[in-house]
Structure 1
Amino acid sequence: MKKIHSVEEYIEENAHFSEALTILRAIINTTELEETIKWSAPVYALNNKNVIGLGAFKKHFGIWFFNGVFLKDKHQILVNAQEKKTKALRQMRFKSVKDIDKNIVLAYVKEAIKNQKLGKEIKPDRSKKETIVPTELKAVLVNDLKTSFDNLSAYKQREYCDYISSAKRETTKQTRLEKIKPMILKGIGLNDKYKNC
Structure 2
Amino acid sequence: MARDPRIDAYIEHAAPFAQPILRHVRELVHAACPGVEESIKWGMPSFSHAGGILCGMAAFKQHASFGFWKHALVVGEGEPRDGMGSYGKMTSLQDLPPDKTLLMHLRKAMRLNEAGVKSPARKAAPKPPSETPEDLAAALKNNNAAQATFAAFPPGCRREYIEWIVEARREDTRARRLAQAIAWMAEGKRRNWKYEAC
Asked if these proteins are the same fold (TM beyond 0.5), I'd say yes
**Per-residue deviation at 1:42?**
0.5
SS at match of 1:6: helix
Q: CA–CA distance in 1 between the matches of 2:54 and 2:46?
A: 8
Residue 95 of structure 2, aligned match among 91, 99, 113: 99
Residue 59 of structure 2, aligned match among 50, 56, 61: 56
1:178 — aligned with what? 175
Residue 40 of structure 1, aligned match among 27, 43, 46: 43
**Per-residue deviation at 1:71?**
2.3
Query: Given the two structures, how large is their TM-score scaled by the length of structure 2?
Result: 0.58
Q: CA–CA distance in 2 between the matches of 1:156 and 1:175?
A: 23
Contact 1:69 1:90 in 2 (8 A): no
For residues 82-93 of structure 1, what are the structure 2 equivalents within 5 Å? 91-93=86-88
* Corresponding letter in the other structure for 1:58: K
1:113 — aligned with what? 110
- C-alpha RMSD of the superposition: 4.5
Superposed CA deviations along residues 144-187 of structure 1, whole A, max 9, x for unmatched, are x9xxxxxxxxx998543335589xxxxxxx988515247768xx
- Which sections of structure 1, spanning at least 5 residues, go unmatched? 83-88, 146-154, 167-173, 191-197
Q: CA–CA distance in 2 between the matches of 1:57 and 1:67?
A: 22
**1:160 matches 2:156:** no
Q: CA–CA distance in 2 between the matches of 1:55 and 1:179?
A: 49
Structure 1 or 2, whichever has the larger Rg, is 2
SS at match of 1:69: helix
Contact 1:79 1:90 in 2 (8 A): no
Q: CA–CA distance in 1 between the matches of 2:46 and 2:174?
A: 48
1:169 — aligned with what? none
Query: Given the two structures, how large is their TM-score scaled by the length of structure 1?
Result: 0.58
Contact 1:19 1:97 in 2 (8 A): yes
Q: How many residues align?
A: 159
Q: CA–CA distance in 2 between the matches of 1:103 and 1:97?
A: 14
